[in-house]
Amino acid sequence: MQFDMRSLPMAVRYKIITSTITPRPIAWITSMSASGVVNAAPYSFFNAVGSEPPLVVLGLLKEPASRTLKDTARNIVETGEFVVNLVCEDDAEIMNQSSAAAPPEVSEIDYAGIRTEPSVVVAPPRIATSPVSFECRKVAALDIGTQQTVMIGEILYAHVRDEFVSDRERIYFDTPAMKLIGRTHGSGWYVRNSDAFQLERPRFDPSRLAPAGEDEAAGK
């Protein structure tokens, strides 16, 4: 089956993307409004996209009903700061609660019962139960089309909970122990990060380019 994405309704395009580009890591974003209300919400249009400087990207869609910016997008545009907190299995339920469309004056920190700690270099707090948190500043907010803002952020300061640091000298983390979760296909489906396998990165091997039959001619 093929799809001409240019002519499909937005909801169908969303379905095709979210059912196939999986799993997606979840940024549980804390931000602060100009009037000081702390906001928390999960975003799975999220990934790391660079390390010099260290960059993350977020896809912040508009509210489907009102077509207005979600609180997270408005806060980041207004204040230029946010924290990306990664989500562990134990926080799945509370993270999900924080995705309810609460009005801007309601803090999901209280609504969902999220425990926070102060950040070091940005105003919004980080989530205390997250294995990893990244304090970020807005680098660019790109309105592409009318329904979304692509937010690029620079990670200024990183927190990795001590229990997940296996070697401080060599900066080794026990990532499987973090039990991070990701978003997968369909409404409300998640994946655990517990089915890893390893492949060594190969060196380039020019002999693989030998034309078919050449090996036989060479008596190999």
Options 53-61, 78-86, 126-134, 200-208: segment touching ligand FMN (CB under 6 A): 53-61
The amino acid present at 11, given as its one-letter code, is A
Any idea which residue has 């093929």 for tokens? Answer: 2
Return the number of the residue (19 or 166) whose C-beta is nearest ligand FMN: 19
Considering only CA atoms, which of 87, 84, 81, 112 is closest in space to residue 98? 112
Tell me which stretch binds ligand FMN (CB under 6 A): 49-57, 64-72, 115-123, 132-140: 64-72
Residue from 143, 127, 106, 116 nearest 42 by CA: 127
Q: Does 39 bind ligand FMN (CB under 6 A)?
A: yes
Of positions 37, 38, 70, 133, contacts ligand FMN by CB under 6 A? 70
10 contacts ligand FMN (rule: CB under 6 A)? no
Name residue 100's amino acid: A
Cα–Cα distance measured from residue 84 to residue 185, given in angstroms and rounded to the nearest whole number: 22
Answer whether 107's CB lies under 8 Å from 125's CB: no
**Whole-angstrom distance between the N-terminal and C-terminal Cα of the chain?**
43
Which 134-163 residues touch ligand FMN, going by CB under 6 A?
Answer: none
Contact with ligand FMN (CB under 6 A) among 32, 38, 41, 114 = 41
Least distance (Å) from ligand FMN to the CB of residue 152? 14
Q: Which residue among 8, 12, 101, 177 contacts ligand FMN (CB under 6 A)?
A: 101
The residue among 61 and 123 lying less far from ligand FMN, judged by its C-beta, is 61
Distance CA 95, CA 27 (A): 10
Which of 25, 38, 72, 180 binds ligand FMN (CB under 6 A)? It is: 72
Q: Are the CB atoms for 35 and 107 separated by under 8 Å?
A: no
Pick one of 44, 107, 129, 133: the residue that binds ligand FMN (CB under 6 A).
44
CA dist., res. 201 & res. 177, Å (int)? 24
The reply on whether position 83 binds ligand FMN by CB under 6 A is no
Cα–Cα distance for residue pair 37/31, rounded to 1 Å: 8
Cβ nearer to ligand FMN, comparing 32 with 178 = 32
Which residues would be at the binding site for ligand FMN (CB under 6 A)? 26, 39, 41-45, 59-61, 70-72, 96, 99, 101, 183
